[in-house]
Amino acid sequence: MGPLIKKARVLVFDDISALEDFALGKWMAMAREAVNRKGTFAAALSGGGTPVGLYRKLARAVEPSLWPKTHIFMVDERLVPHDNADSNFRMMDEMLFSKAPIPKGNIHPVRTDGPPELCAERYASELFAFFQPRKGDMPVFDLVLLGLGEDGHTASLFPGADALKEKERLTAAVPDEKRHARVTLTYPVLNSARNVFFLVAGEKKAEVLERVVERGDPALPASAIKPENGTLLFLADSGAAVMLPVKMKNLQK
């Protein structure tokens, strides 16, 4: 009997708004549970365009009492000033940080004022300082929100990148990918999370989503996101799910 290949769970929604509403509800439930259990809720957010609407809804809908216990980290960041149009921090600040009563000290941006390797090391120190993992353990995020690029990248883990081979360090510097050098969380951190949600929308993502969830195509960095002790959920709108076999779809109404 070969290894049980655990098929990732895919939830398909009529449109991005329904997908966002589902993710919002899960966020609130997870945040309440984590805060009740350990006093904090730690989430890592991706940039890009897909999650923008969710971040806007989080700012409006999450009960204010949860924000002082919620810590937000970045899945990855482009090494540009935080007021640059390409900055993930800037997008999250516009959609969420400037709109929700989240204490400044609970927001953990990647410092981008330095060479890539130094920015990566500084960010790793920020993760260690907050999570204070036991020696040899990885920080454990309660929730990681990931996007999926058409080339199968996620975070700033691009096909063929050295960062894909990182098995120990929490962060990696990525050379000039898609216009900017970046810092990214690595597989060891991403795969230690309690919950990993991919948000995937639009017909342009249909082919890459099918290759990842149906075939686990090893050529695609997103295929190696397999939380060892956590849940993995793909939230897709109907456009992104057009190439998935019906049996994989849990149509959410």
**Which one of 26-34, 119-127, 147-155, 220-228 is the stretch in contact with ligand 6PG (CB under 6 A)?**
147-155
Q: Closest separation between CB of residue 52 and ligand 6PG, Å?
A: 8
Q: CA angle, corner 206, sides to 163 and 194, nearest 5? A: 50
Q: Which of 70, 88, 106, 171 binds ligand 6PG (CB under 6 A)?
A: 88
Q: Closest separation between CB of residue 184 and ligand 6PG, Å?
A: 8
Residue nearest to ligand 6PG (CB): 147
10 binds ligand 6PG (CB under 6 A): no
Q: CA angle, corner 153, sides to 249 and 82, nearest 5? A: 115
49 binds ligand 6PG (CB under 6 A): yes
**Which one of 98-106, 119-127, 142-150, 223-231 is the stretch in contact with ligand 6PG (CB under 6 A)?**
142-150
227 binds ligand 6PG (CB under 6 A): no
Q: Closest separation between CB of residue 48 and ligand 6PG, Å?
A: 3
Using CA atoms in the order 55, 61, 62, 68, what is the torsion angle rounded to 10 degrees? Answer: 80
Is residue 223 helix, strand or coil? helix
Nearer Cβ to ligand 6PG, position 48 or 216?
48
Query: What are φ and ψ of residue 189, in 5° steps?
Result: -75, -50
DSSP string across 46-82: --SSTTHHHHHHHHHHS-GGGGGGEEEEESEEESS-T
Q: Which of 76, 142, 210, 237 binds ligand 6PG (CB under 6 A)?
A: 76
183 binds ligand 6PG (CB under 6 A): no
Strand order in the sheet with 180-185: 76-78, 180-185, 171-177
**Which one of 13-21, 60-68, 89-97, 151-159 is the stretch in contact with ligand 6PG (CB under 6 A)?**
151-159
Nearer Cβ to ligand 6PG, position 50 or 70?
50
Strand order in the sheet with 195-200: 107-108, 70-74, 41-45, 143-146, 195-200, 231-237, 9-13, 249-251
Q: Closest separation between CB of residue 122 and ligand 6PG, Å?
A: 18
For ligand 6PG, the binding residues in 18-47 under the rule CB under 6 A are 46-47
Q: How far apart are CA 25 and CA 49, in angstroms?
A: 20
Nearer Cβ to ligand 6PG, position 8 or 66?
8
222 binds ligand 6PG (CB under 6 A): no
98-109 in b/e burial notation, b at 16+ Cβ within 10 A? eebebeeebbbb
Q: Which of 11, 58, 75, 144 binds ligand 6PG (CB under 6 A)?
A: 75
In angstroms, the first-to-last Cα distance of the chain is 36
Binding site for ligand 6PG (CB under 6 A): 46-50, 75-76, 88, 147-149, 153-156
